Structure 1
Amino acid sequence: MPKYFFFIFLFFANTSSAQKIYGTVFSDKGDLLPYASITIKGTSVGASANNKAKFSFPVMPGTYTVVCQHIGYKMQEKNITVLKDDAEIVFVMAQQQLDMTEVVIQSGAEDPAYAIIRQAIKKRNFYFEQVKGFECELYTKDLMKLRSLPKKILGRAIPEEDIKEMGLDSSRKGIIYLSESVAKVYIQQPDKFKMEIISSRVSGSDGFGFTFPTFISLYQNNVSVFLDRLNPRGFVSPIADAAISMYKFKYLGSFYEDGKEINSIQVIPRRSYEPVFSGTINITDGDWRIHSCDLLLTKTAQLEIVDTLKITQIHVPVGNDVWRVKNQMIYFNFKQFGIDAIGNFVSVYSGYTINPEFAKNRFNNIIINYDTAVNKKPVAYWDSARPVPLEPEEKMDYRVKDSIFQVNKDSALSQTSVDSLNKKQGKLKVYDVIWKGIHRTKYTVKGNHNWGVESLIKALEYNTVEGLVINVLPYYSRYLKKLKTNFSFEPGIRYGFSNGHLNAWADLYFRTRDWETDKKLKRQTWTISGGKRVSQFNKANPITALTNSVNTLLWGDNFMKIYENYFGSINFNKRYENGLRFNVNVLYEDRIPLDNTSDFTIFKKNAANFKPNFPFERIDQQFTAHQAFVLSVDVSIKPGQRYIQFPNRKMSVGSKYPTFSFNYTKGFVNIFGSDVNFDKWRLSISDDKNFKLAGLLKYKIGIGGFINDKKVFIQDFQHFTGNRSTRASEYVNSFQLAHYYIYSTTDPFYGFAHLEHHFNGLLTNKIPLFKRLNWNLVAGGNALYTRRDNNYTELFVGLENLFKIFRVDYVFAFASNKQQRSGVRIGTGGILGGSLRTGNNRSRRSTSVSL
């Protein structure tokens, strides 16, 4: 019962004028000991010392035993009585002397560390599942600093205004991100999690910070660090079931705390370039639990993005034979592209309640919830709630950046500020018109207007139908405040100099997103389009205009097949919170055939390679002009979606289940003179499955067919995305060597499958020297079935993460079980390239080329 009264008193201490216990931690040599753990004995209440070894935390008047711990130093306890004034404690920590007097290691005998680790491995799962659930309070502080910043990155100069905005000094050093959060965490086995963000603060911003929990549990076989972004395979725990085969261990000695012997063991990777730690882990004797750890990850552990990552933890008793993490520190170092950055992420856990009775509605699909007043707490609140004192540099960063932010915020809507922003954009230049395009924002007191036009160089195309083409794509957008909707107007004007055809069309977008409103019905997009345009027969646009231009001019490979059409369409798209997406498209087209009118190539002999402008692989002659009225409905769902709920929006963080998609397309006859009459469907399932050490599997499998094919023109066939260029088409959604239209079908049934496995360092990390490159193996296949005598298969193997961006595959193609061709495909893949889209980007403002 006294324990519960203590927490009640502590609550009032945070909301009233409570006293503090504060102090400094030194080594016995007089050096400061940063990030020591300070707790009230018998509880998880306390603080962590900062980088200057200072600490403070609020208490009610009374007598306490304060415990100070630091990895590598003897635990120290001090009694203190707090009356009306704050009380100071100075800890002077003696270095931990490891005792090996009772251990005799004979030559050739096994190191005693292995026996201890084997016992810890046996108890690993017990401690992982020891409690059914718990709740605790969490304080985090995230800090990132620049130690060096070049004048140019990848050849591009960094503007001085950006340097000032980041708050760097004249030597380009300083804090670039500082954030704190206070949260309540709820966890229930096996997989229920909830975090309530009570308050959050970001230096120089009124944002919410990035508070995603970094719970690192060494009791798991595979340890995730920052959601596996640093290595999708995760890292093997030093007490994992397979730890003996991945690590060497060395017994360093033992020490005693509260009468309990603690064994200190050095952790050594058996092989380089395996996802393993190095450092020290301390194991209690007899019950074989983790006491503390000091572990390091480097590039030789297949660490990506950062150069080094250090993790320290101190575990403390929080209940009847239950220990949990009290303090966790993560340090990182980043050196890339001339940038030298360091940072740390401090986590202090307190107020543990073991096996609580959770309310029935405690856990749902919202795993992180931000309080509506999360960023409204005053400075005085943070001064009392913060268990890690700010360092002088951090205090200055808050003071300076918050002041600048407030001044900018107050003047943001002033006419003077608006005029300054408009003037800052400068005058239009001929260079911009030709190379960069015009992209401007008209700032006003009532709102901003964005407008622009793509560069002249991007507007130029060449094909055998229109000859030289100029394709002008202006745009205009603004936010409609009353409707809480983003409005965009995107017209297009296209002229072909060879056939003399002028096409003009326009798209109107009305986008209402969930971050602008809490009404579920407002997560939708309306698109209204109409005019006269040029379209590819496959509306997935399997080849880009630039790629077609280059291939046509150099080799006479006019892969792109196009037709002209007067059209009108209405599209409605809606996304629901349960992962359901719904899209309806109504399209009318008056389709006009186009034929080649130009035979120009850079090398005249290549003009003989030109093919007619229709899918000659599938039809014998040009289609006849006709009209089509088509309705298409797409439904997809990814069950089990989880979300982060911000005060003004909700963000999806994915699901462990695959995505199920269904499409039904109906061609109506005799509506607005429509000549088509067909019904087709498609069902698919897709997902990414991370097998950790074994790699990542991506797949998409589907079936479909025509129910009715009474009148189907080539535009409405079921097309499959092929690729005849060296640049890889979209992975797990296309065929890398197939002709563009040879497998287009109106059959009543077809099936397809795309699978690829990313080994993420498995196997390649065993090859001497080569493993230093961190180039990873990828392999898989694509398959298509349309008829018994017309099936197609591809098998490929390749390397990705080349220079962190590129991927190269060698592909073998088999048609009707006979090898047809093979070839190389180059795309993007890896830690950075994997975030880029490979294949044809359908955005009107994208440019890509392949040969």
Structure 2
Amino acid sequence: MRPKLYLLILFFALSNIALAQPKSIYGSVRDKDGEPISQALLWVSDMDTIFYSDNNGDFNIPILSHKHYLKVTAPEFSSKRIVLPYNHNQPLLIYLEQNITDEYFNPYEVVRLAKNKRAENEEKYTAYTGTAFKSTTANLFNVPFQIPIASGFILPGKGDTGIMFYSEQISKHNFQNEYSFSDSVIAYRAGGNLPVPNFNYVSDKDLSLYHNQLSLPELDYRKYFSPLGDRGLRYYKFSAKGTYMDGNRKVFRISFEPKKYGSATLKGYMELYDSTYTLAFAKFSFDNAHHLKSLDSVAVEQFFVYQNDEYRQVHNHLTHYLHITGFSGNYESNTYFSDYEYQNSNPEIKLGTEVYHLDSLAINGDSNIWKNHAPKPISTQAERVLTSENLNKIFRGKYARNLHFHTEFKPFQLLYKRYIYREDDLYFNLSPLYYMPGFNTVEGAYLTYKVPIKVYKPNTEWSLTPMVRYGFADNEFKSRMTAELTYDLKNPKKVSLEVGHVFDQFNEEDPISPFINTYYSLVLGKNYMKLYGKDYIRAGYQLEIVNGLEFQSSLEYGNRFAVYNNTDYTFFGDGSNFTPNNPTADDVIDENGFKEHHALTFRTQLAYQFHQRYKTINGKKVALQMNTPRVYLNYRQGIKSSFSDTRFAFASAGISFNTDLGNAGHTKWDFSAGGFMDNKYMEFIDYQHFNGTQTFYLQQSAYSYSSIKRFSTLGYYSYSTDQAFIEAHVEHHFDGALLSKISFLRNTGIHAFGGANYLNNFSDPQFLEVVFGIDNIMDILKIEIASSIHNINDVRPTILVGIDFNYLYYVRNKR
């Protein structure tokens, strides 16, 4: 009997071991017509992880064989609860029905009740912690035409269509509010032929209808009214679309749309649970009626569930649609949450200023890691991109700070295409040869070339940029060498050194581009660019003292001398309209130039960006571009000594910010003022100059923090001063408030804007100009009509054209 007893015990032991082995259930989710349902949520009891069906409706869930139940639900469908186990060797075919009833309800009454609960729900259900699996995909759908040489380099080519970039990441999220959140990456992988930055640092975490207003801070200055907000009943039309049951909870489906075009509103529908008035599902869009800049629309889908009576968000999907002159594509992100837990929103909780952290150790291409963590199977096309166009080496380690590629060198291609070399820690960039030629009246025709060289080390970055230039009219070589060392990458500090023999514009902000000046000089016989020569050496230092507070300074010693016109050549005419190269200012400079002299000049600037946030990529801190106010203080001094001649002291201060005006659009502001505390001896170079415009081309502002800090009709040096000044700029963007009222303009996406620029230098008549225009023309152009009105007898409107689109990311990062 005893051997039989042992065999029986052994049989039960083996049976328990077998039962404890991980198994899986697999199958497909379909609607009543047998069509696959993608993004269906599948949740197994006693497991926190949520799984999703793929684009074919298929799923595969690893579970233990003891009893569970499976809850299956999907947006727009009633949920289903299934008791397990089933025969795990057979596929499980699950059918969901919409079961939307025609039960009457008053949508305005439901929204009113939801509005009354909004503040409570906002406090309870906007701050959260959790683990997120996020995939991002950049797609190019249509390339309408091909341009020889340019297509595939300057412009996308036919071969670029499809997935241009795909990435996946697993990260820990802790979100409190738009200024207090963190995203720490556990694992990351990417593929494609163009590394696309993740610009959704806030939007895909905080587009909650529980807020009074929603915003897209990475894309737009404007805020949009929520249909559940305090003004929802004023700005929206609501329609009842039926009810259904999610378990024992009734869900109301309500569509919403703006009452009028151009208002700061959304369009879509939401599903609300009865009594709690929490969201079950939301699908809405920011679209052309709102005149998003550079984008046609942004579509949002959000999915929420009650899991063991705990309310949580499980899925967030954003799609940014882009259409430029026939080129179309999108950027979409899918975020799936697990370990998700809402916290009561507490403004006092501060999570620090780092919002995104990616370490080289997190970049991992191990397919088993992704297979075990992915909430649904990856698409065949995305798998191909990750395999054949893998970008992990680009993002991994210290090289991840350098998102460029080593391309094959073909000398002939330098005629039209840059050559990028990156091998180990060395990077350099050879610009195309058509960048070299130019023309001005001092040098005549000239050739110029520079080669940026960078060396990346684990804790430092070196940069060396040599430049050479030769003018055929003055027969003179010029050169400049710039060297920079960035160290302490966790809080970067930069030391720089420049030395050179160069010709520079009197205004160091370079108010007229060499290309535009070449066109005006050769074609129109106008030489607006004014130059002087200098032999100099400059040392600089900059750092961030505390987060958001930037400090930079430099000390320059130079021998400065006047230069003159050496040619009157133009394509048409004899150059009789050329003006002297040197501007005129009483007792300082005239057409004969200025006295050669030596100058020792000290500069420093303090600037503070409110709510500055940053990301850390492989140990390097990178500040994010913010829409928050910025204040700045500048000081400049000419130091008199036995080897330098100038003596002056100049200080200025300013602020740049934006205001949201709801349905009326948004306004940009910039105010600054300053003056010379000492001007004992100074040259025209040291005057305070202002960025004017005398050409048809509206050059972008030289200041990254303020796109409006420039004048549209001011002469380049007509108001330069050695006294005090007040400068003010304001520009209001009506967004959809004006042009969307006109039916045939409604779908063009163009914006209307207007503004004014003011300058007072306390010696010349006060300068005031008004501007009005439209931008976002085909997503890339702007046209402005501007007129100075400081002299009412000399009001002459000027039409200017500008480019409001930066394609250089594609040019520099195309693989």
Q: TM-score range by the shorter chain?
A: 0.7 to 0.9
Distance (whole Å) between structure 1 residues aligned to residue 178 and residue 563 of structure 2: 62
| Distance in 1 between residues matched to 2:100 and 2:628, nearest whole Å | 51
Question: Which runs of structure 2 are paired with 1:421-460 in the superposition (5 Å)?
Answer: 424-428=408-412, 436=416, 439-440=418-419, 447=426, 450-451=429-430, 454-455=433-434, 458-460=436-438
CA contact (8 A) 1:808 1:824 kept: no
1: CA distance between counterparts of 2:686 and 2:731? 29
Aligned partners of 2:628, 2:350: CA distance in 1, in Å? 22
**Once the 2 structures are TM-superposed, how far is the Cα of residue 761 of structure 1 from its aligned partner?**
2.4
Q: Cα offset for 1:601?
A: 5.0
Is 1:177 paired with 2:151? no
Structure 1 residues 651 and 319: alpha-carbon distance in aligned structure 2, compared to 1, 3 A threshold: farther
**Aligned counterparts of 1:707 and 1:263: Cα–Cα separation in 2:** 69
2:304 matched to which residue of 1? 315
State the 1:77 CA deviation. Answer: 0.5
The alpha carbon displacement at 1:74 in A equals 2.3
Q: Name the structure 2 match of 1:705.
A: 675
Please tell me whether residue 504 in structure 1 is matched to residue 475 in structure 2.
no
1:142 aligns with 136
Query: CA 1:314 to 1:508, structure 2 compared with 1: closer, same or farther past 3 Å?
Result: closer
> What aligned pairs does 1:505-654 form with structure 2 within 5 A after superposition?
505-512=479-486, 518=489, 520=491, 523-531=493-501, 533-575=502-544, 578-601=547-570, 604=573, 607=576, 609-616=577-584, 618-619=586-587, 621=590, 622=592, 623-654=594-625
What is the letter of the counterpart of residue 722 of structure 1? G
Offset of residue 115 of structure 1: 1.9
> What CA distance in whole angstroms lies between the structure 1 residues aligned with 2:62 and 2:378?
15
Q: Deviations over 1:173-205 (max 9, x none)?
A: 654433222222222368522222222222469
Task: Measure how far apart 1:530 and its partner are.
Answer: 2.5
Q: CA shift at 1:98, angstroms?
A: 0.9
TM-score by length of 1: 0.80
Q: What is the identity, as a one-letter code, of the residue corresponding to 1:801?
A: N
Picking from 187, 190, 193, the partner of 1:202 is 190
Please state how far the C-alpha of 1:299 moved relative to its aligned partner. Answer: 3.9
1:718 is paired with a residue whose SS is: coil
Q: 1:261 to 1:359 in 2, by over 3 A?
A: closer
Match of 2:11 in 1: none
Contact 1:728–1:825 (CA<8 Å) still a contact in 2?
Answer: no
Q: How does 1:719-734 map to 2 (within 5 A)?
A: 719-729=689-699, 730=701, 731-734=707-710
Matched, 1:763 2:738: yes
Residues 831-846 of structure 1 mapped to structure 2, 5 A cutoff: 832=805
CA distances 1:255-282 after superposition (whole Å, capped 9, x unpaired): 2233332222233443455554444322
Structure 2 residues not aligned, in runs of 5+: 1-19, 400-404, 702-706
Residue 367 of structure 1 is matched in structure 2 by: 355
Structure 2 CA distance for partners of 1:599 and 1:374, relative to 1, 3 Å: closer
| Alignment CA distance shift 1:305-1:77 (3 Å) | farther
Q: 1:662 to 1:503 in 2, by over 3 A?
A: farther
* 8 Å Cα contact 2:114/2:277 also seen in 1: yes
Distance in 2 between the 1:359 and 1:696 partners? 26
Per-residue Cα deviation, 1:752-787 (whole angstroms, up to 9, x for no partner) = 112222222222211231222222111222212222
- CA 1:40 to 1:614, structure 2 compared with 1: closer, same or farther past 3 Å? same
1:152 matches 2:126: no
Whether 2:727 is the aligned partner of 1:752: answer: yes
Q: Which amino acid aligns with 1:156?
A: A
1:636–1:661 Cα contact (<8 Å) kept = yes
Structure 1 residue 796, shift from structure 2 partner: 1.6
1:376 alignment partner, SS class: coil
Residue 328 of structure 1: how far off its partner (Å): 3.1
SS at match of 2:111: helix
Q: Provide the residue aligned with 2:110 in structure 1.
A: 116
Structure 2 CA distance for partners of 1:446 and 1:279, relative to 1, 3 Å: closer
Matches within 5 A, 1:41-190: 45-60=49-64, 62-81=66-85, 89-100=92-103, 103=104, 112-130=106-124, 133-145=127-139, 149=143, 152=146, 156-158=150-152, 174-188=162-176
CA distance in 1, matches of 2:127, 2:419: 53
SS at match of 2:796: strand
For structure 1, which segment, 151-160 or 324-333, has the greater mean C-alpha deviation from structure 2 after superposition? 151-160
Secondary structure of residue in 1 paired with 2:746: helix
Q: 1:200 to 1:88 in 2, by over 3 A?
A: farther
Q: 1:524 to 1:742 in 2, by over 3 A?
A: same
- Tell me if 1:462 matches 2:440: yes
User: Take 1:314 and 1:665, find their aligned partners in 2: how far apart are those partners?
Assistant: 56
Q: Does 1:241 align with 2:234?
A: no
Percent identical: 19
Whole-Å separation in 2 of the counterparts to 1:639 and 1:249:
38
Distance 1:813 1:135, change over 3 A: same
- Residue segments in structure 1 that go unaligned for 5+ positions in a row: 1-15, 104-110, 413-419, 838-844, 846-851
3-state DSSP class of the match of 1:473? Answer: strand
What SS class does the counterpart of residue 126 from structure 1 fall into? helix
**Displacement after TM superposition at 1:325 (Å):** 2.1
Change (3 A) 1:56 1:125: farther
2:466 is matched by which residue type in structure 1? E
Once residues 436 and 693 of structure 2 are traced to their aligned partners in structure 1, the CA distance between those partners, rounded to angstroms, is 22
Structure 1, residues 601-657: CA drift from partner, whole Å, max 9, x if none? 5565872x4444332255574433333222222332324321122333222224564
| Aligned mates of 1:306, 1:67 — CA distance in 2 | 38
Residues 427 and 140 of structure 1: is their aligned pair in 2 closer, same or farther, counting only changes over 3 Å? closer
Letter of the structure 2 residue corresponding to residue 351 of structure 1:
D
Q: Give RMSD over aligned pairs.
A: 4.2
Tell me if structure 1 keeps the 8 A contact 2:609–2:629: yes
Paired residue type of 2:549:
L
The aligned counterpart of 1:35 is 39
Matched residue type, 2:451: Y
Superimposed CA distance per residue, residues 6-38 of structure 1 (whole angstroms, 9 cap, x where no aligned partner): xxxxxxxxxx97544443212232221111122
**Contact kept? 2:164, 2:193, Cα under 8 Å:** no
Q: Is the Cα–Cα contact under 8 Å of residues 98 and 255 in structure 1 kept in the other structure? A: yes
- Secondary structure of the residue that 2:372 maps to in structure 1? helix
AA partner of residue 584 (structure 1): S
User: Cα gap change, 1:752/1:594 in structure 2, threshold over 3 Å: closer, same or farther?
Assistant: same
Partner of 2:758: 783
Conservation of the 8 A alpha-carbon contact between 1:184 and 1:195: yes
- Note the C-alpha offset of 1:391: 3.9
Match of 2:654 in 1: 684
Verify: 1:23 aligned to 2:23, yes or no.
no
684-693 or 663-672, which deviates more: 684-693
2:181 corresponds in structure 1 to 193
Contact 1:810 1:822 in 2 (8 A): no
Note if contact 2:293-2:776 (Cα within 8 Å) is conserved in structure 1.
Answer: no
Kept after mapping to 2: 8 A contact 1:142/1:179: yes
Report the equivalent of 1:13. none
The aligned counterpart of 1:658 is 629
Q: Secondary structure at the match of 2:101?
A: coil
Give 2:367's match in structure 1, choosing from 379, 386, 400. 379
The 5 Å alignment of 1:275-424 reads: 276-295=265-284, 298-300=287-289, 302=291, 310-317=299-306, 323-330=311-318, 339=327, 341=329, 344-355=332-343, 363-370=351-358, 373-376=361-364, 378-401=366-389, 424=408
Q: Which residue of 2 aligns with 1:221?
A: 212
Matched, 1:794 2:762: no
